[in-house]
């Protein structure tokens, strides 16, 4: 835990008009970096509803009231597009989703302190308050984490809470930069930030939503119906701006795909589907989608990846994957980097099957941290042992 220090930050100012926002943005464009955070509501909508946007520079901290009647957020694009000003966020994905929806592009350049903290040895997906505590020794009040940010007026306590999310972030960012530079890991983070800034990662493809439902069937016809109705639900939820589960629950989608209802009565028998829904516009459209998907030619149905006994698809050795996971934990402890950032379970499975020299584990900084040793293990040049209660790596030339 870092020693607690006293920090002095500018008094936060509430921005409620487009004119004030535009003038503020121009001042922020003189900064080297600004820290950014958002407060939003999403319980009743498909798209997150931005309520407050916080930005902190060296001499100014502003809380932008996104629901004020006299404000247009368009001036923000000048700052978000300014390549000379780094936009610093923590655990940025949901914030970026908001900006993508509002402006159809992302702030550039970006820096996510959660990603940087994983490289710097603060563990997997460290939370903001824990990171602030570790770096500064300060304690962040999180009592307003679940407050209603759409209600007005905002209380002084809410405003103070919101400001803390960008003021201490400046200290964290500068501390992480110094550490990464000292340890020669700045390039590691740059590679990860480039992936974060890819807008395609935030665009929802309705045609792929069925894959998230994990249907327990290999029946391609059922999966074809599921693909069609999941895409229909996604588009309907987007257009109506309501949560997809409020439109139709996952369990109902899976049952509809399995039973392929052909009329209103059949649809109304599905658990979670009301008679009113089945008889209404949405229900009738859904029945049409089911009908059309039921008539698709076999060549247009989803391909099923077969696995298990009798499968033609190769599967990695569970024992080898287990050894790779142990090696990953060892190497990440040695290099003080978060395992989740280095390799996913899917990465390890793919590596166990075929250590692709152009794959993510054998290129860039991941090769130095893990890939070289993992390759040696797979090729039989390295084994794992235990000495004095600790794991050790045994090279082939050390073995008797």
Sequential pLDDT tens for the chain (400 residues): 455 567 899 999 999 999 999 999 999 999 999 999 999 999 999 999 999 999 999 999 999 999 999 999 999 999 999 999 999 999 999 999 999 999 999 999 999 999 999 999 999 889 999 999 999 999 988 888 889 999 999 999 999 999 999 999 999 999 999 999 999 999 999 888 888 888 888 889 999 999 999 899 999 999 999 999 999 999 999 999 999 999 999 999 999 999 999 999 999 999 999 999 999 999 999 999 999 999 999 999 998 765 544 445 678 999 999 999 999 999 999 999 999 999 999 999 999 999 999 999 999 999 999 999 999 999 999 999 999 999 999 998 776 5
pLDDT given for residue 399 in this prediction: 62
Helices 220-240 & 250-259 angle (0-180, nearest 10): 140
Neighbours of 70 (CB within 10 A): 10
Spatial distance between the Cα atoms of 261 and 279, rounded to a whole number of angstroms: 13
Where, residue-wise, is CATH 3.30.420.10 in the chain? 13-201
pLDDT (tens digit per residue) in 151-172 = 999 999 999 999 999 999 999 9
Strands 382-387 and 390-395: antiparallel
Q: What is the pLDDT of residue 198?
A: 85
What's the token pair of residue 10? 């500018």
Phi, psi of 111 (to 5 degrees): -145, 120
Return the pLDDT at 305.
64
Contact 131, 122 (CB under 8 A): yes
DSSP assignment of 121-190 equals TS-TT--HHHHHHHHH------TTTT--TTSSSPPHHHHHHHHHHHHHHHHHHHHHHHHHHHTT-HHHHH
Query: What is the structure's pLDDT at 312?
Result: 53
Map residue 47 onto helix, strand or coil. Answer: coil
The token duo for 394 is: 């045994």
336-354 in b/e burial notation, b at 16+ Cβ within 10 A?
A: ebbbebbbeeebbbbbbee
- Are the CB atoms for 220 and 235 separated by under 8 Å? no
Spatial separation of the C-alpha atoms in residues 255 and 217, rounded to whole Å:
12
Q: pTM score, two decimals? A: 0.88
Q: Give the residue among 186, 112, 178 at the shortest CA–CA distance from 365.
A: 186
Burial of 393 (C-beta count, 10 Å sphere; 0-12/13-18/19+): middle
Specify the CATH class of 13-201 in words. alpha beta
Residues 6 or more apart whose Cβ sits within 8 Å of residue 374: 324, 327, 328, 351, 355, 361
For residue 368, cis peptide bond before it (omega within 30 degrees of 0): no
Q: How far apart are CA 145 and CA 350, in angstroms?
A: 39
Distance of alpha carbon 295 from alpha carbon 312, whole angstroms = 28
pLDDT value, residue 201: 86
CA dihedral 289, 295, 296, 301 (to 10 degrees): 80
Note the pLDDT of residue 351: 96
> What Cα–Cα distance (Å) separates residue 237 from each residue in 102, 160, 209, 232, 260?
17, 35, 12, 9, 21
Burial of residue 167 (CB within 10 Å: 0-12, 13-18, 19+) is buried
Which residue, chain included where needed, has tokens 């972030």? 169
Element (H, E) at 353: helix 345-353
Task: Answer yes or no: CATH 1.10.150 is held by domain 318-395.
Answer: yes
CB 162 within 8 A of CB 52: yes
Please state which CATH class domain 224-295 belongs to: mainly alpha
Which pair of tokens denotes residue 296?
């698709």
Residue 5 confidence (pLDDT): 63
Range(s) of the chain covered by CATH 1.10.150.80: 224-295
Residues sharing a CB contact under 8 Å with residue 375, sequence separation 6 or more, in sequence order: 355, 362
């Amino acid at each position: 835990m870092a020693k607690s220090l006293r920090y002095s930050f500018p008094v936060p100012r509430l921005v409620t008009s487009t004119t004030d926002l535009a003038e503020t943005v121009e001042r922020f464009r003189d900064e080297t970096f600004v820290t950014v955070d958002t407060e939003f509501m999403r319980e009743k909508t498909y798209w997150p509803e931005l309520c407050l946007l916080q930005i902190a520079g060296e001499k100014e901290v502003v809380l932008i009231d996104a629901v004020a009647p006299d404000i247009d957020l368009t001036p923000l694009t000048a700052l978000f597009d300014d390549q000379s000003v780094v936009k610093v966020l923590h655990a940025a994905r949901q914030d970026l989703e908001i900006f993508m929806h509002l402006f159809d592009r992302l702030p550039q350049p970006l820096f996510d302190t959660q990603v940087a903290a994983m490289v710097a040895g603060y563990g997997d997906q460290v939370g903001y308050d824990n990171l602030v505590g570790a770096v500064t020794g300060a304690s962040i009040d999180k009592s307003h984490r679940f407050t209603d940010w759409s209600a007005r007026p905002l209380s002084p306590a809410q405003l103070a809470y919101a400001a803390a999310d960008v003021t201490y972030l400046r200290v964290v960012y500068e501390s992480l930069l110094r550490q990464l530079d000292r340890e020669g890991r700045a390039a590691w983070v740059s590679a990860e930030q480039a992936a974060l800034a890819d807008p395609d990662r935030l665009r929802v493809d309705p045609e792929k939503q069925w894959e998230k439902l994990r249907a327990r069937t290999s029946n391609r016809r059922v999966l074809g119906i599921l693909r069609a109705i999941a895409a229909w639900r996604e588009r309907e939820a987007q257009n109506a701006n309501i949560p997809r589960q409020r439109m139709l629950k996952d369990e109902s989608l899976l049952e509809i795909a399995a039973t392929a209802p052909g009329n209103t009565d059949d649809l109304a028998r599905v658990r979670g589907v009301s008679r009113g829904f089945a008889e209404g516009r949405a229900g009738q459209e859904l029945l049409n989608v089911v009908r059309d998907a039921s008539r698709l030619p076999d060549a247009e149905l989803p391909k099923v990846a077969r696995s298990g006994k009798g499968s033609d698809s190769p599967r990695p050795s569970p024992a080898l994957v287990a050894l790779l996971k142990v090696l990953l934990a060892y190497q990440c402890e040695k290099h003080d980097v978060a395992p989740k950032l280095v390799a996913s379970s899917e990465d390890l499975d793919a590596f166990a099957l075929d250590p692709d020299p152009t794959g993510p584990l054998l290129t860039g900084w991941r090769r130095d941290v893990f890939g070289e040793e993992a390759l040696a293990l797979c090729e039989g040049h390295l084994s794992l042992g235990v000495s004095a209660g600790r794991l050790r790596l045994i090279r082939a030339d050390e073995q008797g």
